[in-house]
Amino acid sequence: MIIVTGGAGFIGSNIVRALNDAGEDRVLIVDHLGTSEKWKNLADLRFLDYEHKDEFLAKVERGAFDHDVRAVFHMGACSSTTELNADYLMANNYAYSRRLAQRFGQKDGLRFIYASSAATYGDGSEGYSDSHDAVPKLRPLNMYGYSKQLFDLWALRTGFIDHAVGIKYFNVFGPNEYHKADMRSVAIRAYFQVKKTGGVRLFKSYRPEFAHGEQKRDFIYVKDAVRITLHFLEHPECNGLFNAGTGAPRTFRDLVAAVFTALGKEPSIEFIDMPEGLEKRYQYYTCAETAKLRAAGFVDGCSPLEDAVRDYVQNYLEKDPRGEAALETN
C-alpha cells in the first residue's frame, strides 16, 4: 500500500493520478476535507480508502500501519503563506510531520517522501542551493516557510533525512488547484481574469532593476513536479533534500502572455499597486538549483512554460466544469 497525506490536495491528488496511470490503486488517501470543494479532486481517482488526518495519525501511533506499507508521500500541510496562526502551523506542519516521521522512519524498506518548500529560501539572499549545509542559514519570510524549515532542520539534526527525501517545490501550477483560494497560482488567476474581463492585472515593481511584470519565478508544471517526486520512489538509493523546479525562471509577463496565447487572445496587462506592506515581503526572483536533482538521475527536464500553460488551459481549465462555477466567484 502507498499512503498519500494531503491526497485530496493539489500536488497530492496529482501524485495519486500518476500512480493510477501507472496501474497502482492500492492507495490510502489522508486529508482534512472540511467545507472546501477539494473533495472533487478525488472524484475520478482510484484508491483503497480515505482517512481523516487526525484519525490516521492516532492509528499510526497505535501501530495500525506497521506492515504492508511501501511508501508514504507526506504532502499534507497548511500551505497558506499568509496564515498568521503560528501555533496552528507549528502543530499542523511541523509537529504532525515529526510524529509521522518518527513512526515510519523506523520501518526498513519503507520510502518516506515529504513536501518541503521553496518558501524556506526567504528572499533568496542565501541562494537557492538544496545542499544540506545551506539549510541552517536560510531565513523564511513567512510562518509557513518557517514551519517547513523547522522540519527540514529536524530531519537533518536527527539523521532522518539520510533515509528519506524532502522536496522543495518551487512555484507549482496546474490541474486541481481550484480549492486553494488565495494560494492558487498566477496561471489560474490570470485565466479567470482573462475570461471575465479580457485583461490581467499584475503587481507593479518597486525595485528599479525589475521593470513592471519582469519579476521572475521558477514556475514548474505540476505534472513535472510529480515526475520528480515519483522519481525518488523508484530510486531508494537517493536521499536528502532536493529542489523541484525548472532551473529556468521566467517573468510574470511571460506567464500571463502564455495564458493569452492559449486562449487565442492578444495580451492586455494592467499593472497595479501592491497591498500595503507586501513590498517588504515580496520575492522578486526565485530559481531552483537543479544540479543535485540531475545527479540523482532526474535528467528528463521539465516542460517549457508555454507548453505547460497551453496544456493546463486547453485540456483542463477550458474543459473542467469547475471552471465555469469558479468564474462566478473570481
113 and 68 share a domain? yes
Task: Judge whether 283 and 144 are in contact, CB under 8 Å.
Answer: no
**Which candidate, 10, 57, 5, places its Cα nearest to that of 31?**
5
- Residue 91 has a CB neighbour count (10 Å cut-off) of 13
124 and 183 share a domain? no
According to the model, what pLDDT value does residue 327 have? 57
Q: How many domains does the chain have?
A: 2
CATH code of the domain containing 142: 3.40.50.720
According to the model, what pLDDT value does residue 52 have? 97
In SS3 terms, 4-46 reads as EECCCCHHHHHHHHHHHHCCCCCEEEEECCCCCCHHHHHCCCC
- Is 280 known to be catalytic? no
88, 185, 278, 299, 321 from 93: Cα distances, Å: 8, 21, 24, 31, 32
127 and 54 share a domain? yes
Joined together, the cell numbers standing for residue 153 give: 532542520
Tell me the residue type at 201. Answer: R
Single out the catalytic residue among 107, 180, 206, 316: 180
According to the model, what pLDDT value does residue 323 have? 64
- On whether residue 296 sits in a domain, the answer given is no
According to the model, what pLDDT value does residue 330 have? 53
75 and 141 share a domain? yes
Pairing of β 27-31 and β 49-52? parallel
- Residue 82 has a CB neighbour count (10 Å cut-off) of 11
Task: Judge whether 96 and 6 are in contact, CB under 8 Å.
Answer: no
Distance CA 24, CA 40 (A): 20
- Is 144 known to be catalytic? yes
Distance CA 151, CA 48 (A): 29
Task: Judge whether 218 and 170 are in contact, CB under 8 Å.
Answer: yes
Task: Judge whether 148 and 120 are in contact, CB under 8 Å.
Answer: yes
According to the model, what pLDDT value does residue 325 have? 58
Single out the catalytic residue among 94, 114, 144, 312: 144
Return the SS3 of 130: coil
91 and 192 share a domain? no
79 and 97 share a domain? yes
The contacts of residue 280 (CB under 8 Å, 6+ apart) are none
Range of the domain at 274: 176-218+248-286+304-327
210 and 238 share a domain? no
The contacts of residue 28 (CB under 8 Å, 6+ apart) are 1, 2, 3, 4, 7, 47, 48, 49, 50, 51
**In terms of C-beta density within 10 A (0-12 exposed, 13-18 middle, 19 or more buried), how is residue 11 classed?**
buried
- On whether residue 105 sits in a domain, the answer given is yes
- In tens digits, the chain (330 residues) has pLDDT values of 999 999 999 999 999 999 999 999 999 999 999 998 999 999 999 999 999 999 999 999 999 998 899 999 999 998 888 888 999 999 999 999 999 999 998 777 899 999 999 999 999 999 999 999 999 999 998 999 999 999 999 999 999 999 999 999 999 999 999 999 888 999 999 999 999 999 999 999 999 999 999 999 999 999 999 999 999 999 999 999 999 999 999 999 999 999 999 999 999 999 999 988 777 778 899 999 999 999 999 998 999 999 999 999 999 999 987 766 565 555
pTM across the whole model:
0.95
CATH code of the domain containing 266: 3.90.25.10
314 and 204 share a domain? yes
254 and 105 share a domain? no
- On whether residue 180 sits in a domain, the answer given is yes
According to the model, what pLDDT value does residue 324 have? 61
**Which candidate, 100, 48, 47, 46, places its Cα nearest to that of 73?**
100
266 and 148 share a domain? no
97 and 229 share a domain? yes
180 and 73 share a domain? no
